[in-house]
Amino acid sequence: MKIRHHLTDDLIMGYSSGTLPEAVNLIVATHVSLCDECRAAVESYDAVGGALVEGSDMVEVSDACLSGALDLIRNGAWSATEARMSAGDDVLPAPLADYVGGTLEDVKWRPVGMGVKQAILPTSDTATARLLYIPAGTAIPDHSHSGMELTLVLKGAFEDDDGRFARGDIEVAHEEVHHTPVADISEDCICLAVTDAPLRFKGLLPRLVQPFVKI
């Protein structure tokens, strides 16, 4: 598996420092579990952070420090090493399998139209994570973004103006990106998508459906 589309430095740094929203942390951990290059980058940031901590003066911390650290662990703060050593099924890597509660067969899909299905995962409300099932050859309606959209391919592939994205590839889209992703005709596509703001659909029908599918 050759991964051609990777995380940005800002996402890697945020993941290493533990400052990302839970949903973003989940998709980064899932990509890192598949991508040797980004995993090595996370480990480099972790090493730099550890060296900075060791060289810092000791300071008093609040009573909430331990509980905050435990909350990060409970909310899926996967280290790069844990992501590499753990394994899910053939489609869902371990960080994602934990949120689903099993394998792909355990996903509770809900239809959203045109054969596309989704399953919204339980994360904090600062960003939303969802699994998407897109039938082969199907296009996601033309849209732009109010914030950030991260899309990680788990099975199959899709194409848009930024290129072809296959298993392990992650697309990082911001407000300036306007696209119409189309699933490869050869195989159904399954993705993990994370958004921190609603998408901006061009067509009337997608805009009417949008409040009901929460995307």
What token pair was written down for 134?
Answer: 């897109």
- As a whole number, the mean pLDDT across the chain is 84
Angle ∠(15,2,47) on CA atoms, nearest 5? 30
Is residue 139 helix, strand or coil? strand
Q: Tell me if 156 is assigned to some domain.
A: yes
Query: 132 and 30 in one domain?
Result: no
Residues 106 and 94 in one domain: no
Output 90 or 82, whichever has higher pLDDT: 90
* 165, 188: one domain: yes
Residue 163 has pLDDT above 80, yes or no: yes
- Residue 12, pLDDT > 90, answer yes
* Beta-bridge partner residues of 134: 189
The answer to the question of residue 3 being in a domain is no
- 185 in a domain, yes or no? yes
Q: Tell me, what CATH number does 83's domain have?
A: 1.10.10.1320
Supply the pLDDT for residue 42.
94
Q: What percent of the chain has pLDDT over 70?
A: 80
- Judge whether residue 118 has pLDDT over 60: yes
Most confident of 3-7, 49-53, 61-65, 175-179: 3-7
Between 75 and 110, residue with greater pLDDT = 110
SS (H, E, C) 9-58: HHHHHHHHHCCCCHHHHHHHHHHHHHCHHHHHHHHHHHHHHHHHHHCCCC
pLDDT of residue 53: 47
Instruction: Let me know if residue 171 belongs to a domain.
Output: yes
Looking at residue 86, what is its pLDDT? 45
CB 112 within 8 A of CB 130: no
Which of 54, 76, 99 represents a domain boundary (last residue)?
99
Q: Which of 83, 99, 115 is the last residue of a domain?
A: 99
The pTM of this model reads 0.81
Taking alpha carbons only, the member of 88, 123, 95 closest to residue 32 is: 95
Number of domains into which the chain is organized: 2
Contact 33, 83 (CB under 8 A): yes
114: left (phi over 0), alpha (psi -120 to 50) or beta: left
What is the per-residue pLDDT for 202? 75
Q: Do 136 and 86 fall within a single domain?
A: no
pLDDT at 75: 52
Does residue 80 sit in the same domain as residue 160? Answer: no
Q: Looking at the structure, do residues 209 and 107 belong to the same domain, yes or no?
A: yes
Q: What is the CATH number of the domain that holds 151?
A: 2.60.120.10
CB-based burial, 124-153: b 16+ in 10 Å, e otherwise: eeebbbbbbbbeeebebbebbbeebbbbbb
pLDDT of residue 119: 96
- Choose the final residue of a domain: 99, 134, 164: 99
Q: What is the pLDDT of residue 44?
A: 92
What range defines the domain where residue 86 resides? 9-99
Same domain, residue pair 47 and 86: yes
Domain membership flag for residue 1: no
Amino acid, single-letter form, for residue 11: L
Q: How far apart, in whole angstroms, are the C-alpha atoms of residue 45 and residue 15? A: 9
Query: pLDDT digits over 28-62, tens only?
Result: 999 999 999 999 999 999 886 554 445 555 556 56
Phi, psi of 135 (to 5 degrees): -60, 150
Q: Which residues contact 7 (CB under 8 A, 6 or more apart)?
A: 15, 28, 31, 32, 35, 38, 41, 170, 172
The mean pLDDT of 65-79, rounded to a whole number, is 52
Same domain, 209 and 119: yes
